Structure formats: C-alpha cells, structure tokens
Amino acid sequence: MDISRRTFLQGIGGAILSGYTGKSRAESRALVSRLPNVVFLFADQWRASATGYAGDPNVKTPNLDRLAKESIDFETAVSVCPLCTPYRAALLTGRYPTTTGMFTNDVPLPDKELCMGELFKTAGYETAYIGKWHVNAYGRFSYIPPERRQGFDYWKAAECDHNYPKSHYYTGNSPEKKFWEGYDAFAQTKDARQYIRDHAKGAKPFLLVVSYGPPHFPHETAPKEYMDMYPPEKLKLAPNVSEKMRKAVLKELPGYYGHCTALDKCIGEVVRTLQEAGIADNTILVFTSDHGDMMGAHDVRPCIKQYPWDESIRVPFLLRYPAVHGKSGTNVKTPINTPDILPTLLALSQIEIPGTIEGEDLSAMIKTGAGERDRAALIMNVWPNVDTKLLKEYRCIRTSRHTYVLRLDGPWLLFDNQIDPYQMNNLVGKPEDAELQKQLNERLQSELKKIGDEFRPSRYYLDKWGYKVKEDGDISYGNKTEAQERGLR
Ligand SMILES: [Ca+2]
C-alpha cells in the first residue's frame, strides 16, 4: 500500500468518528450506528429506455415503476466508458478510465487505487459484494483472493460468468468453486435478502453491492415464463432500428426483456425486505446498470455497446433515501456520470471524500433538492476493439440536452436530444449549428483538461499501461505473472 493511500485510510476512521462530524468520539460512535446503510443494485447491459417508468412500450417492470415514484430518478445517467470492466473500475474508484488505466475489459484494478469497499469499511461499515466483479483479470473463472476484493468482506462473487442457469462464485477464503442454485439472479437476491436481515439490527451500518449479470446476453437463458411474456410479433421497435436489423433484434429482444422483468422481481423483493427489516428509511438504495445495449439502433447489431449513442451510454439510475428526501421522488435531468457515484454515496454517508476522486459529489441535489443545473458528462472510448470499421477512438460529452462526439479525425456526432430523442439527425457541420458545435467542443476540451487527458490514439494508452495485445485483438489475461507485471507492481 503506498503512503498516501495508507495515510488517507488511517485518517478516515478518525474523521468519521470525530473531526468530520464535529462531535466527540463517544457521541460519534453512537452516530455511526445511525449512519445510512447503502444497498447498491446494478445490472449488466440494461439500457435506460428499457423500463416501464422510462416509457418503453414493451417491457414490464412494475416493481421498478413503483420504486421510481419514491426515488430521485436521474434521467441522464451515463456510463463513462460503456463496457464492463471500465464501468466497474470507475464505480469503485470514482476516477476516470484514462487515470486508472481501466479502459478496457480484463485488466487488473491496481491495488493502489482507493476503492468503495475500503472507504466504507474504514469508516466503520460492514461491506458485502455479491455477483459479477470483473476487475481482477486473473482469468474469468479464477478464484479472487481476499486481498484482491478491494475492501469487501462478505464475498460471494465471480470474475465474470454469464451462464445464468449455472453460474459460479467463490466465497470466504476457499478456492473451491461453488454454483448458484438455478437462475443466478434469483439465488443472489435470496442471499442479499438474508444479508439484509442478518445485518439490519447490527451495531454497524452496511454497504451491500449486488452486481447482476442479466440482461447481458445470452438472452435465451432468461427464465421461460418471463421470456414468454414477450412474443416477438407483439414487440414495437424504436424508429432508429432499421428494417435490415429487425430480424436480429426480434430474436434477442424477448430474452432481453425477459431478463429485465426477472430482475425487476428481484429488485422488488429487496425493496420489500428493507421494509420488513425496518430499515428502508435509513437506507440509500440505488438501482442502475453498467451500460446499455445498441440492440439494432443505428444499424449496430444487438449485444454491442461501447458506442456513444444513448442506447449504449445511458443507464437507469434510481436513488432512494427516504430519511433525506421523504417518501416521494423527483426527476432530475442533470447528468450523473459513473465517477460521480462514489463521491455522492460517500457524502450521503458522511464519509470524507478522498482528494484522488475525480467524480463530483452530487449529494446536494438529493439532500436539498437543489435545483437542476447542467453539466457535461465525459464519456470515452480509449481503445476500440470491436466493430473497428465504424467504432474509432472518441471522446463525448452528454449534457442534459446535447450529445457531442469528437474523434481523432474531427467532430463525428452532434444531437439535440430534446427534439431528436432517437438521435437520427446529426448536426455536425451544419452551418446553422456551427456556434453550438463550437461551444460543445469547448466544453468537451474543458472536461478533458480537468482529468489531464489529451485524447491521443489508443496505442499511446496501451503503451502507457504496458498492455500487450494478442493476435486476436484482445489483451491477454489469466496469466498471473503477466497480470502482476501489468497492473499490480
Ligand atoms: Ca457489461
């Protein structure tokens, strides 16, 4: 552990118990027991549009629709780098992919990074992680030892396994591979509910993260009764899905929605368990996802993300904390980006935010209902390794109204999402929008400057982090020695 990291973690225990709260240590110990619990539920590849409350004409999400009415609904929540590992690393660290080197899948999260689990644990929380991890990079089926769990103590997790009917996990200090019983999201939810019951009346507050695999493909393994709710002939497709994509989309969509509705049931059960345990008011409950799915929009085939269109970058984001904002919810258009999540949760939990965090604390919007304000959320693709004919390196900003995307060869996309929600009218280069384009480009440059990113070709970042690209185009993982050399030195 490097010195700055150790010093911060030592300080945080003291900060939460005395200085930060302005109370004596004895008073503060009593306060610790009243700090909020945090239950963070997130899906994989669940795009923002695919809920009832967001207006999807097909999907059934009754539990989420109810939760949305009681929550702060961040309508413009985006994924900083719409891919599994980069999102997870940014969520855990509150830092950007170009800062941590976590800009592609299957690279190891460096031990020196201060992570969510460590920060909450040091502040006196019990910590728990259930489900998909995907920031270890010693192989997708390998055992993840306690020292690579970034501060999470209760542990039932796997690096990456989307075989939902029989997915694996490890627990405790045992390298014995175990399997969830039946559809993994149901079994993980059962485990999460038991964890909540067991810790509801404990002396310490808890942070529980549940990282679900669905609705990420494969879609055909959604529970049958849920998939059967979506006969393809009844599904309505968005106007930006062209005729040539129709067949491929209708093949995937019943299972995709089936997974969504199965997860909706899981989330409803967690909500009910918090109520039954008597801790719903003093628990910060979040529902979100790591990124979306293009699902045929703009002629990008289903299962692909990484692009800067809303289908890929926008995610659901509900935050409910009744003790602070009351029983009713509200809608917020101010963008929230992945690195903003950790500082916001830390602030809501009265934990000091380390200076290394790059995201912004948006807790004031939740605590005081402080008015809407516009922000530019920075989104990036550092190393395109799928669909490389169309997908190039890009940097993008998403404001509450506009999307602007810059590639190395110049401006690529500009949308007014208010009048063009399906992003079918690219305004780049149009004389009447030249001033808007110029302003958005300045805002993008200003966001890049904040994190010290000069937007260079992917080769620069691959070399900087010492990643070796295999002949098939992936970065090699699973070789412990190589992984250690790359990121754990
Ligand atoms: Ca993912």
- Cα 432 to averaged position of ligand 1 atoms, centre (Å): 38
Ion ligand 1, residue ranges at CB < 5 A: 44, 84, 290
Q: Which domain holds residue 342?
A: 33-367
The answer to whether position 55 is within a domain reads yes
Whether residue 384 is found in the same domain as residue 293: no
List pLDDT tens digits, range 60-94: 999 999 999 999 999 999 999 999 999 999 999 99
Two tokens, residue 142: 């390998």
Which of 331, 349, 367 is at the close of a domain?
367
Residue 274's pLDDT band (cuts 50, 70, 90): very high
Whether residue 392 is found in the same domain as residue 456: yes
Q: Are strands 72-74 and 330-332 parallel, antiparallel or unpaired?
A: parallel
d(C-alpha 76, C-alpha 370), whole Å: 16
Which of 321, 339, 367 is at the close of a domain?
367
Whether residue 145 is found in the same domain as residue 12: no
- Cα 78 to averaged position of ligand 1 atoms, centre (Å): 13
Whether residue 362 is found in the same domain as residue 439: no
Whether residue 395 is found in the same domain as residue 348: no
- Cα 99 to averaged position of ligand 1 atoms, centre (Å): 20
Residue that wins the pLDDT comparison between 103 and 373: 103
List pLDDT tens digits, range 286-317: 999 999 999 999 999 999 999 999 999 999 99
Whether residue 8 is found in the same domain as residue 41: no
Whether residue 289 is found in the same domain as residue 430: no
Whether residue 187 is found in the same domain as residue 280: yes
Whether residue 389 is found in the same domain as residue 335: no
Residue 13's pLDDT band (cuts 50, 70, 90): low
The answer to whether position 372 is within a domain reads no
pLDDT at 476 over 80: no
Two tokens, residue 137: 């990079």
Q: Which residues are catalytic?
A: 84, 134
Whether residue 361 is found in the same domain as residue 381: no
Q: Would the pTM of this model clear 0.85, i.e. be above it? A: yes
Q: Give the C-alpha distances (Å, rounded to integers) separating 19 from 10, 212, 338, 385.
A: 13, 37, 29, 48
CATH number for the domain spanning 314: value is: 3.40.720.10
pLDDT at 238 over 60: yes
List pLDDT tens digits, range 436-445: 999 999 999 9
pLDDT score, position 488? 39
Calculate helix-pair angle for 246-276, 184-199, nearest 10 degrees. 20
Total domains, the chain? 3
Q: How far from chain centre, in Å, is Cα 18? A: 32
Helix (H) or strand (E) holding 13: helix 3-14
CB 179 within 8 Å of CB 7: no
Whether residue 356 is found in the same domain as residue 261: yes
Of all residues in the chain, what percent carry a pLDDT higher than 70? 90
Whether residue 45 is found in the same domain as residue 170: yes
pLDDT score, position 6? 59
Collect all residues with Cβ–Cβ distance below 8 Å to 98 and sequence separation of at least 6.
380, 382, 451, 452, 453, 461
